Amino acid sequence: MDLKYPIGTFSMPNDFSTDLLDHWIQRIERLPFELGQTLYNVEPSKLDATYRDGSWNVRQLVHHLADSHMHGLTRIKWALTEDQPEIKTYNEVKWSSLPDASDLPINISLKWIEGIHTRWTYLLRTLSEDELSRTFYHPQNKVNVSVYEQCGLYAWHGDHHLAHIRIALKNGGKH
C-alpha cells in the first residue's frame, strides 16, 4: 500500500454525472460521522501517531481537515457569488504547525467539521447544473476549478485523510 496515497490519487472524470455527484455529496456528508467513529475513545497519546515517517500526526490531520474544508466551502461560495474569482491559497504545512493545530483537543475541529459539512452538503444539494459549472481560479495550480470538480476533490480529500488517520491509529505510529 502507498502510505502517502492509501486510496490512490484523485482523478476527475471527463463527463458530468449526477450519480457521481450524489456519491461525492454523500461522502462529504458522512465524513464527520466516520471521523467521530474512528476517533471515539482514542487515548490522547495515540493522537501523536503518524501514518508514515515525516507525516502529520492524527491531531494535525484532524485540524488540517477542518482548515482545508473551511477553505473548500468558502471557495465554492466565492464561485457561486462572484465571476470567476481568484482564490487565496494558504500554506498547509505552516498552518499545521501553528499552536491551534498542535495543542488544541481534536473535538474542537471535529465539531467544526460537522458544522462545515452540514452546511456544505445542504448547499450542494440545492445547486443547479449551471451553478455546479461555475468556477474559481486557483493561482497556485493555474487552473479554473468548477464547483462540481471541487465537490469531487473534497470528497476524495476527506477519505484520503481518514485513511491516513486509520493507518496511524492501527499501526500506533510504527512504520
Average pLDDT on 152-172 reads 97
> CA 131, CA 134: separation in Å to the nearest integer?
5
* pLDDT score, position 10: 96
Residues 139/89, Cβ–Cβ less than 8 Å: yes
Give the CATH class of 20-38+45-171.
mainly alpha
* pLDDT score, position 174: 81
Q: Which residue in 26, 60, 50, 85 sits closest to 167, CA to CA?
A: 50
* pLDDT score, position 173: 74
pTM of the model: 0.96
Note the pLDDT tens digit of each residue in 54-111: 999 999 999 999 999 999 999 999 999 999 999 999 999 999 999 999 899 999 999 9
Neighbours of 45 (CB within 10 A): 9
Q: Which residues lie closer than 8 Å to 132 by C-beta, 6 or more apart?
A: 16, 21, 146, 147, 148, 151
